[in-house]
């Protein structure tokens, strides 16, 4: 048996003096679905899992299990099994004892040997059943912990970063095992991680959280290809997406361009619908997002339809064996996503009304505040006579350390490059992302306008 899980405007706070750990989260998980909760450490992922399990009280909102109200349902009655990050095995019990412990609690006096043996065969740990946890490696202990959850035949698996304490090779192996087991068992699974590689490889869908606020939910392919905002774009993808400060120029009698420092991207005519919508950003600073596969090393004469030229100076080379990551200096200024790895930004939107702001800008600022704070940092335009020095605003987070260059391009190891070489590049505008000053995606055009109630 498996079940559906629904969260409706669920919030969690520990005191009136602290911000909400989870803020009005609404999420539906279908029966048998594998959903990954992804985000930086401290963003509320584990709290969501514990509220579903009944280990944390829900401050506001509703939890529905198979459509029935479950806020007050005790943990034992929810028929869920949890796998923890630290294994949580009883040190004085063998592997057999740990796997069989919840079965003995549920059915005292019954013979659980066949069920334990069947679970051990499924996980390939038959030879570990008579060993104590202290005699097992980290990977073996995690298999036993998973066996304890699987043996119960629960309706839901809740996994709280079960692989984070293991080495990279073992993580990859157990990741494949988890995918196989959950697919065979067909049990609804919620998996918490801060590792986007795990999220992309495991989940049917991925829900990205930041500051307790749901940023986006969708299939791994959709979240990667159409990130809702610059935080999602920067958090998902290896290497990290290139984020550059740009300026849109859309004259009525000329071609539309996006200036990137000393160079510019000329948008081909006739303009696509997405590029036509960029006209509303005329004269405004935006954030241009380019993944490493959106740029290739080639001369302008080799340009395909939709590709435009750019020039870069080689600053750094990262040899990866099957590929090389080349860091170029294009004369552009990198955009900053403040505290990308932090659960929430320290700076909060200025709640005072700006007299120089339009009604639409004030509405967008309000929408950004409701989504958990700013996700991008672009200096506001300076006004003459305002007494501003051009320094970073007081309280703004320090810029994160960066590798040399402003553009990272993925290429094959057979292309010979050296430091200081000037190289022609081609940018595929079909893979161009543009985000506004608040970090919201404006190209490709969003599916809908921002909902101020979110």
62: CATH? 3.40.50.300
* Residue 255: per-residue pLDDT: 86
85: helix, strand or coil: coil
**Residue 168, in any domain of the structure:** yes
| pLDDT bracket for residue 396 (50, 70, 90) | very low
Mark which of 198, 230, 262 sits at the end of a domain: 230
Mark which of 215, 230, 245 sits at the end of a domain: 230
Mark which of 196, 212, 230 sits at the end of a domain: 230
Residues 260 and 297 in one domain: yes
Q: Is the pTM of this model over 0.75?
A: yes
pLDDT in tens, 149-206: 888 889 999 999 988 878 877 888 888 888 888 888 899 999 999 999 899 999 999 9
**Residue 410, in any domain of the structure:** yes
| pLDDT bracket for residue 258 (50, 70, 90) | very high
Residues 226 and 258 in one domain: no
pLDDT in tens, 12-54: 999 888 888 999 999 999 999 999 999 998 889 999 999 999 9
Residues 223 and 240 in one domain: no
Residues 241 and 352 in one domain: yes
**Residue 95, in any domain of the structure:** yes
Residues 219 and 328 in one domain: no
Residues 225 and 240 in one domain: no
DSSP string, 267-311: PPSSPPHHHHGGGGGTT-EEEEEE-GGGEEE--GGGPPTTEEEEE
Residues 206 and 80 in one domain: yes
385 phi and psi, to 5 degrees?
80, 5
**Residue 87, in any domain of the structure:** yes
State yes or no: pLDDT of 375 exceeds 60.
no
Tally of structural domains, the chain: 2
Q: From the CB of residue 310, how many other CB atoms can be counted at a distance below 10 Å?
A: 23
**Residue 392, in any domain of the structure:** no
State yes or no: pLDDT of 362 exceeds 70.
no
d(CA 107, CA 28): 32
pLDDT in tens, 406-449: 899 999 988 889 999 999 999 999 999 999 988 899 999 876 54
Residues 211 and 299 in one domain: no
Residues 224 and 245 in one domain: no
d(CA 98, CA 125): 13
Residues 52 and 159 in one domain: yes
- Residue 361's domain spans which residues? 236-379+404-443
């Amino acid at each position: 048996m498996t079940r559906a899980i629904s969260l409706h405007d669920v919030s969690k706070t520990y005191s009136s003096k602290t911000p909400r750990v989870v803020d009005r989260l609404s999420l539906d998980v279908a029966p048998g679905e594998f959903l990954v909760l992804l985000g930086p450490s401290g963003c509320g992922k584990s709290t969501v899992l514990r509220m579903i399990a009944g280990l944390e009280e829900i401050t506001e909102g509703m939890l529905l299990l198979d459509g029935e109200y479950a806020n007050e349902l005790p943990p034992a009655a929810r028929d869920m099994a949890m796998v923890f990050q630290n294994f949580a095995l009883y040190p004085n019990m063998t592997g057999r004892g740990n796997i069989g412990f919840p079965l003995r609690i549920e059915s005292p006096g019954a013979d659980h040997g066949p069920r334990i043996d069947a679970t051990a065969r499924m996980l390939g740990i038959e030879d570990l059943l008579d060993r104590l946890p202290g005699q097992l490696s980290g990977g073996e202990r995690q298999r036993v912990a998973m066996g304890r959850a699987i043996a119960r035949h629960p309706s839901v698996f809740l996994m709280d970063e079960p692989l984070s304490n293991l080495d990279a090779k073992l993580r990859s192996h157990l990741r494949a095992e988890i995918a196989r087991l959950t697919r065979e068992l067909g049990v609804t699974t919620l998996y918490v991680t801060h590792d986007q590689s795990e999220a992309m490889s495991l989940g049917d869908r991925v829900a990205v959280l930041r500051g307790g606020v749901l940023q986006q939910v969708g299939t791994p392919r959709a979240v990667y290809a159409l990130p809702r905002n610059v935080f999602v774009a920067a958090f998902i993808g290896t290497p990290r997406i290139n984020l550059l400060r740009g300026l849109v120029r859309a004259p009525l009698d000329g071609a539309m361009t996006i200036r990137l420092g000393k160079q510019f991207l000329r948008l081909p005519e006739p303009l696509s619908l997405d590029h036509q919508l960029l006209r509303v950003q005329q004269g405004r600073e935006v954030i241009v997002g380019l993944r490493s596969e959106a740029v290739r090393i080639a001369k302008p004469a080799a340009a395909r339809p939709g590709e435009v030229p750019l020039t870069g100076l080689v600053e750094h080379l990262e040899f990866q064996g099957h590929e090389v990551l080349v860091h170029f200096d294009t004369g552009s200024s990198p955009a900053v996503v403040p505290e990308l790895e932090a659960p929430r930004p320290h700076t909060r939107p200025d709640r005072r009304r700006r007299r120089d702001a339009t009604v639409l800008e004030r509405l967008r600022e309000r929408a950004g505040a409701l989504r958990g704070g700013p996700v991008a940092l672009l200096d506001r335009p300076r006004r003459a006579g305002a007494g501003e020095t051009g320094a970073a605003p007081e309280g703004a987070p320090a810029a994160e350390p960066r590798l040399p260059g402003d553009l990272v391009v993925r290429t094959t190891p057979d292309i010979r490059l050296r430091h200081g070489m000037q190289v022609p590049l081609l940018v595929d505008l079909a893979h161009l992302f543009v985000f506004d000053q608040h970090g919201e995606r404006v190209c490709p055009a969003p599916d809908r306008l921002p909902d101020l109630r979110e």
